[in-house]
Amino acid sequence: MTTVKDIEQLFKSNYRTLLILANRLVHDEDEARDIVHDVFAKLLTEDQREVTPAYLANGVRYACLNLIRNRSVRERFKNLYALDTSELSDDEWPDETTINMLNEIVDGRLTEQCRRVVKLRFGSRLSYRETAEELGISETAVYKHLRHALNVIRQTLNEK
Amino acid sequence: MKDYTDKLLDALDHSEQLTDAELDALLQNEEARDLYGIVNKTADALTETPEPDVEKEWEHFCALYGKRQPIIIRLISGRHAAAAAIAGVVSLVAVATTIGIRLAQNDRNTDSDSNITKEAVTINASLTIVAPDTVRIADERGDYTTVFKDERLDRILPVIGRYYGKEVRIKNPETGNLRLFFKWDEQLTIEEIVDQLNSFDQISIKYDDKTLNVE
């Protein structure tokens, strides 16, 4: 049986990593935090003899998967969630290699302004109007930067 | 003529202007769907998470899921009253600063020290801040009220349910996602708590001996 002391140690050494994983998938810090807490709460009631970081990560992944599955296609689309959850359920996503590659493309192959646009629209989920206001550019410019960025990302991923 | 990149970028910012059928039709297109996959993965990859305060998160976790019995500090024999008083003060500080200690104390509830007397006192902090958004307060009689601030219903009810020995079933996940400001007086009966929660328009809870059922 996992004791409270064990849980405290597991919590403190894994919380950050699990929060990042959950937030990556559900794009909401509050939801991510609740999901991670719920995974640890289950340890209080389950008779788990051995709890590993991988076990905790799987718990977080499946909780995120359930949250996404319970959303309509429109909600998933609006929140930029995965439409096809098979990669998530098969543990294929998120994989660090692709995540690092995407960050390298955005940081290394886009102009500074284009990078800002992509980070605000896709990373922070601001609307085109909010992104335009934040950067002091037009919505049309935001649109063009995103179109360019998507082409670059698609091409680069296809080359690899 | 707009290509699928244009159509997808339009839809991403104005999905409300598309009917469900139009959105489905767009996402049935292989090119648009592949492109959306890139958008989704880019969003996942670029989502930044602020550095969490793990200690505070642990305290919050304990506040929500820790056992809720009052802490009983067993005192050593009466002739060591001064030492006992110091022990009490130390424990009080512990309660106010780390709920982890409270959990650990509860976890080690098998108090087998034969030197302790049967005398016991309950130490309550007058105000115990257990998390940035959840506060547990004791009045002068030592009765507890927990204030949930902007907490989700599906996180509040398991805490309350556990206290009253009831399972919680929430039929509609949307109801579970409701965020409440709720004061839970632990002296009230479950009937009274349910009445209070049902006074919220969007909440309807029925209960039996074992379960709180949220419609």
Question: Which of A33, A65, A89 is the endpoint of a domain?
Answer: A89
The reported pLDDT for the residue numbered B154 is 86
The reported pLDDT for the residue numbered B66 is 65
- The shortest CB-CB distance from A5 to any of B38, B64, B104 is to B104
Nearest to A76 by CA among B189, B112, B163, B12: B12
Question: Which of A32, A55, A89 is the endpoint of a domain?
Answer: A89
Cα nearest neighbour of B173 on chain A = A70
Whether B9 has its CB under 8 Å from any CB of chain A: the answer is: yes
B135: pLDDT confidence band, cut at 50, 70 and 90? low
Does the pLDDT of residue B117 top 60, yes or no? Answer: no
pLDDT in tens, B81-99: 333 333 333 333 333 333 3
Share above pLDDT 90 across residues of chain A, in percent, rounded to a whole number: 76
Give yes or no: residues A8 and A65 share one domain.
yes
Q: Say how many domains are in chain A.
A: 2
Show the domain range for B89.
51-126
Asked if residue B120 is part of any domain, the answer here is yes
Does the pLDDT of residue B59 top 70, yes or no? Answer: yes
Q: Taking residues B57-73, report their average pLDDT.
A: 62
pLDDT in tens, B168-181: 999 888 888 888 88
Asked if residue B30 is part of any domain, the answer here is yes
Sign of the C-alpha dihedral computed for residues B74, B140, B92 and B137 taken in this order = positive
Considering only CB atoms, which chain A residues are within 8 Å of B52? Answer: 15-16, 19, 33
Question: Which of B92, B126, B160 is the endpoint of a domain?
Answer: B126
Q: Taking residues A46-75, report their average pLDDT.
A: 89
Task: Supply the DSSP string of chain A, one letter for each residue.
Answer: ---HHHHHHHHHHHHHHHHHHHHHHH--HHHHHHHHHHHHHHHHHS--S---HHHHHHHHHHHHHHHHHTS-HHHHHHTT--S-THHHHTT-SS-HHHHHHHHHHHHHHS-HHHHHHHIIIIIS---HHHHHHHHT--HHHHHHHHHHHHHHHHHHHHH-
B101: pLDDT confidence band, cut at 50, 70 and 90? very low
Where residue B191 sits, what CATH number does that domain have? 3.55.50.30
Asked if residue B91 is part of any domain, the answer here is yes
Asked if residue B131 is part of any domain, the answer here is no
The reported pLDDT for the residue numbered A86 is 87
Give yes or no: residues A8 and A84 share one domain.
yes
SS3 B134: strand
The reported pLDDT for the residue numbered B166 is 87
Nearest to B138 by CA among B126, B147, B146, B149: B126
Does the pLDDT of residue B75 top 60, yes or no? Answer: no
Give yes or no: residues A103 and A118 share one domain.
yes
Q: Say how many domains are in chain B.
A: 3
Q: Taking residues B6-18, report their average pLDDT.
A: 93
Whether B64 has its CB under 8 Å from any CB of chain A: the answer is: yes
Distance (Å) from the alpha carbon of B42 to chain A's nearest alpha carbon: 6
Q: Taking residues A117-142, report their average pLDDT.
A: 96
Give yes or no: residues A59 and A102 share one domain.
no
Give yes or no: residues B34 and B99 share one domain.
no
Tokens of B133: 């958004």
Give yes or no: residues A17 and A72 share one domain.
yes
Cα nearest neighbour of B177 on chain A = A31
Show the domain range for A68.
4-89
Give yes or no: residues A71 and A46 share one domain.
yes
Give yes or no: residues A102 and A84 share one domain.
no
pLDDT in tens, B25-51: 999 999 999 999 999 999 999 999 999
A144: pLDDT confidence band, cut at 50, 70 and 90? very high
Where residue A127 sits, what CATH number does that domain have? 1.10.10.10
Give yes or no: residues B60 and B114 share one domain.
yes
What is the enclosing helix (H) or strand (E) of B147?
A: strand B144-152
Cα nearest neighbour of B105 on chain A = A4
SS3 B145: strand
The reported pLDDT for the residue numbered B49 is 95
Beta bridge partners of B212: B168, B207
Q: What is the mean pLDDT of chain B?
A: 71
Give yes or no: residues B111 and B92 share one domain.
yes
The reported pLDDT for the residue numbered B202 is 87
A2: pLDDT confidence band, cut at 50, 70 and 90? low
Does the pLDDT of residue A46 top 80, yes or no? Answer: no
Considering only CB atoms, which chain B residues are within 8 Å of A27? Answer: 43-44, 47
Give yes or no: residues A63 and A12 share one domain.
yes
Give yes or no: residues B82 and B119 share one domain.
yes
Share above pLDDT 70 across residues of chain B, in percent, rounded to a whole number: 64
Asked if residue B212 is part of any domain, the answer here is yes
Tokens of A136: 């002091």
Does the pLDDT of residue B112 top 70, yes or no? Answer: no
Whether A94 and B42 lie within 8 Å, measured CB to CB: no
Give yes or no: residues B14 and B76 share one domain.
no
Tokens of A72: 């309509």
Does the pLDDT of residue A10 top 60, yes or no? Answer: yes
Q: How many CB atoms within 10 Å of residue B33? A: 15
Give yes or no: residues B120 and B58 share one domain.
yes
Give yes or no: residues B181 and B204 share one domain.
yes
- The shortest CB-CB distance from A123 to any of B9, B47, B173 is to B47
SS3 B201: coil
Rounded Cα gap, residues A120 and A126, in angstroms: 6
Tokens of B76: 């050593």
Give yes or no: residues A29 and A64 share one domain.
yes
Give yes or no: residues B55 and B120 share one domain.
yes
Give yes or no: residues A113 and A54 share one domain.
no
Q: Per mean pLDDT, which of A133-142, B58-67, B81-90, B147-156 is the most reliable? A: A133-142
The reported pLDDT for the residue numbered B23 is 95
Question: Which of A50, A65, A89 is the endpoint of a domain?
Answer: A89
A27: pLDDT confidence band, cut at 50, 70 and 90? very high
Give yes or no: residues A84 and A102 share one domain.
no
Residue with tokens 């690899």: A160
- The shortest CB-CB distance from B58 to any of A11, A84, A122 is to A11
Considering only CB atoms, which chain B residues are within 8 Å of A143? Answer: 9
Give yes or no: residues A15 and A66 share one domain.
yes
Cα nearest neighbour of B103 on chain A = A4
